Amino acid sequence: MNKKLRLVLIIVGLIAVFIIMRQTGLLAILADFDEFRALIEDAGAWGYLVYLLLYIVVAVFSIPASIITIAAGVIFGPIVGAILALIGGTIGAAVAFLVARYIARDFIVDKFGGNKIFQKIEAGVEKNGKDFLILTRLVPVFPYNIQNYAYGVTNINFVTYTLISLVTMAPGAFIYAYMAGEIAENGMSTKLLIQLIIAGILLFGVSQIPKFFAKRKGIDMDDMKN
């Protein structure tokens, strides 16, 4: 198929999906906690699948995922919710990566190839490989959703990308979804306060890992920010 024709079809397809999401109210639901919760609960046993599918939509269209990550803990409970949030986030990131690599690569390169974030990620992967991916997943230097597409146009391996994304997303997914689920089920308590303190310590510890990792691998984090 002609590249220009494929590009036009991709753009038309994305616009069509976006219009459908807007007309059906799905975009509004994804931005409203109560409506999102009602949608999942009304789905009954299919709620698990609906949740995962919506997480994929969020990742592909670069919609902020904070609401549905927290909602997982409230709707499904602390443990199951945390697991679903992690699975949904990982699958969503993987799908966005595949879209960038095999479907919309030419469009993304033409449209965003000159973007500084894309250029830094491309240069970082070329120089440091998967080490750069690990670092940028752990440090919020670049927007997470943009990374999904930016890495899709690099030469990094899909399996490597997916596994690293799974591992590096785990701390945040579990802490946020688990805490939300605990508050929803048991309210504020001494036990929860202790858990929040532990979670804070864990998050602080995770935030320090990239500094040691970058130093060990010889990666200049200041250069990433500039």
* Rounded-to-integer distance, Cα 170 and Cα 70, Å: 14
Backbone angles phi, psi at 189, to 5 degrees: -155, 170
Q: Would you state the pLDDT for residue 49? A: 93
In this prediction, residue 73 carries a pLDDT of: 87
- Which token pair is 171? 């701390």
Q: What is the pLDDT of residue 61?
A: 82
**Domain limits at 79?**
3-225
Query: Does the predicted TM-score (pTM) go above 0.85?
Result: no
Q: What's the total number of domains in the chain? A: 1
Structure confidence at residue 2 (pLDDT): 57
The CA distances from residue 50 to 53, 68, 72, 84, 133, in Å, are 5, 12, 12, 11, 29
Per-residue pLDDT of the chain (226 residues; tens, 9 = 90+): 556 666 667 667 767 777 777 777 777 777 777 888 888 888 888 999 999 998 988 888 888 777 788 888 888 988 899 899 999 999 999 999 998 888 877 777 777 767 787 888 888 888 878 888 888 887 766 777 888 888 988 889 999 999 999 988 888 788 878 777 777 766 666 666 676 677 667 666 666 665 665 566 566 555 555 5
Q: Return the percent helix, strand and coil in the chain, to nearest 5.
A: 85, 0, 15
